[in-house]
Amino acid sequence: MNMKRIIDLHTHSLCSDGSLTPGELIRHAKEQGLSAIALSDHDNVDGIREAMAVGEEIGIEVVPAIELSAISDTETHILGYFIDPDSPELMSAMKYIRDVRVQRTAETCEKLAEYGMHVSMDEVREKAGGGILCRAHIAKIMTEKGYSESPKAAFAKWLNAGCPCHSESQALTDTEAVELVRKAGGDAYLAHLHLTKKSGEELENFIKHLMEAGLTGLEGYYTDYTPEMEETYRGLAAKYGLKISGGTDFHGAFKPHISIGRGLGALEIPYEVLENMKKR
């Protein structure tokens, strides 16, 4: 019998671009044998109260978290753990970010229309189900309408940076995101380091730049990391005295190839990672 205590500290619910409600997400994590989970929705904390209540009810540890979109020279994501979801500073920032996302979504829809792909704001809002508007919702609609063979292909051809219908986010700067997490009582971790497109000295300088703003750690376990990436990123954490976190980036049906707590099948994040993160 496998008695390992496995966790997943990077997941998304219907409140951003996942397919499960916060409660369904927590129940799914419990059913899959996880010992702890963090709900880290994009740029909002709307699901945290529900997630924590369900976690307490069924007996699984839930860490209040968020994934903030930020801008440096490339788009950067900052994971905030142990945050206070009722923080006044956080609430104010979330309103600003929600408005920015509406503007960005409208711009993307206008660009798509120029290429004969008609996605309306009402359709995106319906797909979001009352949650924050995300590019993943647009990609899903594009796939359903036959404009793309899959959401992943929609991003690769149309929505990612450098693509014809990409709209720049005017959200927080990278240091503002780190500082916001700290103001909300949390610890800030740099997410999926390989997506920063930085390596070597450039990546190290970027990490030091974020440390000046209060960065706590790096995401040391992630679905798409190769063994070499894991070794590199954990080595950087050790070099700079940073902690590590880990998660799958689970989105449910919107990323069906990713399993909660397991990623592509072989990922195992030990509970000891969370225990070390708690030593604040």
For domain 93-159, the question of CATH label 1.10.8 is answered with no
Token pair recorded at residue 278: 């708690």
Instruction: Give average pLDDT by consecutive 10-residue segment, the chain, 280 residues.
Output: 83 95 98 98 96 98 97 89 97 93 95 98 93 92 97 94 88 94 99 96 98 99 97 98 99 94 97 97
Write down the pLDDT at residue 1: 39
Dihedral pair phi/psi, residue 148, rounded to 5°: -150, 150
CATH placement of domain 7-85+171-277: 3.20.20.140
Instruction: Give the pLDDT confidence score for residue 168 in this predicted structure.
Output: 82
Domain segments of the chain as ranges: 7-85+171-277, 93-159
Closest by Cα among 239, 186, 174, 194 to 216:
186
The whole-model pTM stands at 0.91
